[in-house]
Structure formats: structure tokens, C-alpha cells
Homo-oligomer: A and B are copies of this chain.
Amino acid sequence: MDSIISSIKGQQRVVIENISPQLEAGRFVVKAFVGDVIRVEADIFLDGHDLLSANLLYKFSKDNKWISVPMTFTKNDHYEAYFTVLDNGFYFYTIESWVNQAASWEHEMVMKTKDGQHVNVELMVGANILETMVKIATKEDKPELKSYAKLFRDNKHYDEAVAFANSPQMHQWIHQYPDKQHVTIHKELKIWVDRERAAFSSWYSMFPRSASSEYNKHGTFKDVEANVLPRMKSLGFDVLYIPPIHPIGMQFRKGKNNSTTCSGGEPGVPYGIGSELGGHTAIHPELGTLNDLKHLVTTCKSMGIELAMDLAIQCSPDHPWAKEHPEWFKIRPDGTIQYAENPPKKYQDIYPLNFESENWQGLWQELKHVMMTWAEWGVRIIRVDNPHTKAFSFWEWVIPEVQAEYPDMIFLAEAFTKPLVMEQLAKLGYTQSYTYFTWRNSKRDLIAYMNELNGQSAYMRPNFWPNTHDILPYSLQGGTEPMFLIRYFIAATLSANYGIFGPFYEYMINEANPGKEEYKNSEKYEIRHWDWNMENKLTHIIRMTNKARVENTALQRTNNITFCDIQNDNILAYLKTAWNGNRILAIVNLDPYNTQGGYVRIPLNLIGKHTDEEYIVHDLLTEAKYFWRGEFNAIELNPQLMPMHLFRIEDL
């Protein structure tokens, strides 16, 4: 028992509780973006009637010194303060609070003086307070503090002393020179701050081997530079995401449409990683050299585009790791390496890594080495394939390890799985996450899902994809132009991060393998050929939407959305607002066949208008402008003409 009491700081009377932001009592790190203003709140109280003071303390991880911000009382023992995160990396923050005996004394002096009480003893207490201040005061203030302490103690000029005890100068000193005896300091919390691209990005995904202008020719990084980057630039995309670019294995290589037989000359699946030419740090020779890749990275950069590489933690049977580190795999009792299975299905072309390996540390270090190697090549975005089939503790370790050296590294989690697992990956450090958006189609589902995602915005940043190279959703199968316009548009305006798999998307290809949500003749298994200059109505809308995204701050965040009432289940209307006054109102007809209309109700308080005020809604897709007034305004959308408005709200 005596050991318990000796571990207690019994004189600490202030309690600091319920700090926000905070994720599960500090178990996980809250996330923010460079430039964010972080509002720190807490419940702070103590026993009895003494007054307390509290400071928010924060620092960038690379700085030594805490910066202190006085916290403001709001109500019910609740306090708040703000700080701005200006750098990419970790910030630390905490709260300190102490019994402000001097402020309590000041309050008592006021009450007693008003009451006409004799306060001689109280002045002596005041003298003690001033003498304590002397220890931390500036050189300039020290003599004055000492002389007032003497005035208080001497009892020679009582009226003068009482007057000074109630003076603004005394009040100022009390707050300038706090006596933090028995201060309570909360445990440190952390915020991870990402660069802007983590918040706002427009992804274009394609297979480099299909980038050639010539038929029947394996595309190269050079072809990507020549054909793909200009198209991306013209359409307004800023992240180029490519599937694995490593040597492809030969054993059990798959043919067209995932056939288990493969004719000679078929290119194989880029996810069958590794051959005698190397593994995850080698380049597939038909794509070019490592120098070609680095050149691609540089050219991208010069055009304001970033290259996102694809990390698939799995091997073909020909991967060097299978020979050099068989202990990283599951070994079957017959001595062979266990291939991937989803019984009764077998995937003999793929060896999964075994995260229960006795040499898991070696495996983790090697995987980190892969990412660090890519980072040395200039890559700062990694899309991770199926992260939910690798151990959580690995991600919790490796993401901060990589970001310790490259804080600008962005990780996108390609996990389409159970909600808690997707959330866990985000909590463990993933910068962005794929979502269920691909399968959310109705107004009701879209609103519910956006509200769910926004409840997770402290740790999970959605990236919306209407299609991917793995997924042609049922909603697009057999879809016509309006459907492709609609799905594209809502992805790009609901979420600040979105992407499409092209040119399949722009070509509006809607043919699937029967009964499955996957492309027929998918590029995963064969080389396709495209006209990289193709233009149609959809590419026009993409260009205009991406332009609007860049020019309108409100479209550069995801959780700033308010859905607007409209008595039509086919029309989705949403307002996005930004700190700088930018206001975007998107209205979409979700019905690709019929004209739909109604009266959309504008939340006037959010756009800063009163009931009878007129304002302009300026369609950024068509440049049309309309005068609207007040709360309810009529709209009608014919999907064959234009299924959406992208209005900027402008003042008259």
C-alpha cells in the first residue's frame, strides 16, 4: 500500500480528460493535412472552488521546444485552443493545467475589497505571490515586482497596496507569470500530417504495356511518356497509377481471360511477380530499364503528375525469394511451397508470403527494403494490393518506418473487405483507402455511405473509383453514356480523391465475363491497344470536372459535404463549402434514362444568404449562369443531354 501512495502525485489536483482529437485513447494516431487548423478540446476541472489555467502544448516532431497556447473556457468545464500544422510529419500535443492560486487570490481580493473587509493578511499572501513571480520574470519586471511585494508586505501604504492588488497591472502579471506548482500534464498525443496530395488527387490507372502507338507491340515507359502523360495532362489527372512493373514468372503463367493454359508469347500477369531476372526491385525488360523508369518519374514530376507504383506482396514460383528464402513461405509436408488457394480453387502461379514465418523479421526488413528502393527511384505513392491479407502488425511497423525517412510517402490501401478490417488499415497508417463507392448507387445508399465515411475522417481518407482494372461493376455493365457520365461525376465531386481505370473508362467499355464483375479481355492477361487521343463527351466532362476541382477549394476536401433536400429519389444534390468562401453545389440525376426534376432546397445559412436574397449559380461544366433566389429552386436534368450541374455559387 505504501508503494501505491508513493507512486501518486497527491498534490496534483487538476484533472484533464476527454481530449479531442484523439483516437481510442491514443492507441492510434489522428491524421491531418498540411495547413489544417487543429482544434484541441478537453474537459478540465479540479476539486473545490479554486481557479485553474490551462495551456495547449504542441510541437513538430523535429523541433525541441513546445509551443504553448492558453486554452479558453467554453462551458461546463470544457476548454479549447487551436494550432496550425504547417509541416509534413508528426506533431505532438498535450495539455498542461494547474491551480491558479494567484487568480483565486485576485478574485477573493475583489470580493473582499467590495465588501469593505480589512485585507492585511491577504496583502501578505499577495506579497508571497509577487515574490514567486520574481523568479521567472523578465529582467525589466523584476525590480517592479519586488517593490510591489514590499508595498504589500510593509503595511505602510494600505490604500495604495489595496488599489494595486485590484489593478490591471497585477492582473496582467498573474497571467504572465503563472506559478505552475503541482501542474497536471496529460500524456502526449500525436497527429500525423500529410502533404496536400494525400487530401486531393485525381488518379489515372493504366497498363504501360498497352501504351504503344503501334499494334502488337509491347508498350514501354517511353510510350507512357509519349502517349499517356499528354493525355493525362490534357484531361487534368495528377497521379498515374501503374500495376507491377517487375519481371513476370513463367511457371503456371496465365493466359487470356485468366486461362490456366498460356500460349507461347502471351505476356502473363503483372501480379505474377518475379523471374530469374529478379523480383520486386527489378524491372520487366520489355517495359524498359530502371533508367527509363526514373526518367518517367522525372517527366511526370515536370508535368505536375506523380507516379504511383503497385506493391503486391506475393511471388511467382520463379521469384528469387522462393529459392533464397523458402522460410518466408509456407512449406507443405512434401517440401513444396504452398501456392495460393481459395478451396477448391487453386492459384498455382502465386506463392503468398507467410507472415507467421519464424524469420518474419527478415521478411519485414526485405519488404521495407523494397519500398525504400522505390523511394530512392523517386516514387512517393504506393498503392498496396490486398493489404488485408498481410499481418496488421507489419503495416503498423512499416508505414512509419518508411515515412520516417520519406514523410511525403502516400500509401493507398486496396482492401475491399470487411468494414472493421478496412478501418483498421486506415488507423494503422494508410494515407488513403479504396472504398465501397464502386457498389453504392442509389441516393439513399450514397448519402448513408458518405455520412459513414465522414464519421471516420480523422483516420480514413476515401479514394473513389467507378471502375478499376479488377472491377467492372454491375452498374456499368451494359451501361450507356449517361451512366458513365454519372458514375464518373459523382466519384470526382463527392470525394476529393478519386480515380478511373483508363482507357477502359473513357471508351465506356461495358463488357464483362458473364456473371462476374470483371472485364472481358482484361489487360491483366493481355496487351490491348488504344487511341490515346480519343475524345468524346465523357472526356470533355472529365476535363471540365478536373479543371473545376483544381480551381475550387471546396472540391479539394471530402468531409465538407452537406446533402440538400429534394423531393426526388433520383436526384442527388450536395453542397461543398471551403474555409475561403468557395461554395460548390453539385446536382446529379442518378437515373440514366429519364429526365428528372424538382425543387432543391439550399441550406441558406451555409451559403451565407438570407431568405429573399438573389445569387448566381454558375455551371462550371457548361459555363451557363442562372439567377437563383432564396431556399427552393427548380432544376430539371435530362440524362441524354447532361445529367448533372456543377454549380459554383457566386454573389451578385
**A333 — nearest CB in chain B belongs to which residue?**
B124
Chain A interface main SS type = mixed
Q: How far is the CB of A73 from chain B (nearest CB, A)?
A: 12
Distance of A444 from chain B, by nearest CB (Å): 20
Contacts of A324 in B (CB 8 A): none
Measured between C-beta atoms, what is the minimum distance from A447 to chain B in Å? 21
Return chain B residues, CB-CB under 8 Å to A344.
111-112, 114-115, 117
Across the interface, do A76 and B25 meet the contact criterion of CB distance under 8 Å?
no
CB-nearest residue of chain B to A15:
B392
Stretch at the interface among A1-9, A220-228, A262-270: A1-9
Contact B397 A8 (CB under 8 A): yes
A607 to B108, CA, bound (A): 58
A10 with B45, Cβ < 8 A, contacts A77-B418, A111-B343 known: no
Surface stretch bound by B, among A60-68, A354-362, A593-601:
A354-362
- Which of A156-164, A383-391, A610-618 lines the interface with chain B? A383-391
Is the beta-carbon distance between B364 and A10 smaller than 8 angstroms? yes
**B8–A334 contact, CB under 8 A?**
no
Contacts of A5 on B, CB cut-off 8 Å? 361, 364-365, 397
Beta-carbon contact of A355 and B397 below 8 Å: no
**A35-71, CB < 8 A from B:** 43, 45-49
Q: How far is the CB of A187 from chain B (nearest CB, A)?
A: 11
Tell whether A218 is near chain B: CB-to-CB under 8 Å. Answer: no
Shortest distance in angstroms between A346's beta carbon and chain B's nearest beta carbon?
A: 8
Which B residues are in CB contact (< 8 Å) with A24? 17, 25
For the complex, is A142 an interface residue (Cβ under 8 Å from B)? no
- Is B10 a contact of A393 with CB atoms below 8 Å? yes
Instruction: Give which listed residue, B6, B127, B182, B391, contacts A10 with CB less than 8 A.
Output: B391
Q: In the complex, which residue of chain B has the Cβ closest to the Cβ of A396? A: B8
- Tell me if A401 is interfacial: C-beta within 8 Å of chain B: yes
A536 CB within 8 Å of chain B: no
Residue of B nearest to A341 (CB): B108
**Inter-chain contact B47/A355, CB cutoff 8 Å:** yes
Q: Is A419 located at the chain interface by the 8 A CB criterion?
A: yes
Q: Are B360 and A11 interface neighbours, CB within 8 A?
A: yes
A5 CB, nearest partner CB in chain B, Å? 6
A323 close to chain B: CB less than 8 A: no
- Cβ–Cβ < 8 Å partners of A394 in chain B: 10
Closest 9 pairs between A and B when the two form their complex, measured CB to CB: A115-B344, A124-B333, A111-B343, A25-B25, A10-B360, A48-B389, A108-B343, A77-B420, A11-B356
List 14 extra interface pairs beyond A49-B342, A112-B344, A124-B334, CB under 8 A.
Answer: A4-B401, A6-B361, A10-B355, A10-B391, A11-B356, A12-B393, A13-B391, A17-B420, A43-B420, A45-B421, A47-B390, A99-B356, A111-B344, A112-B343
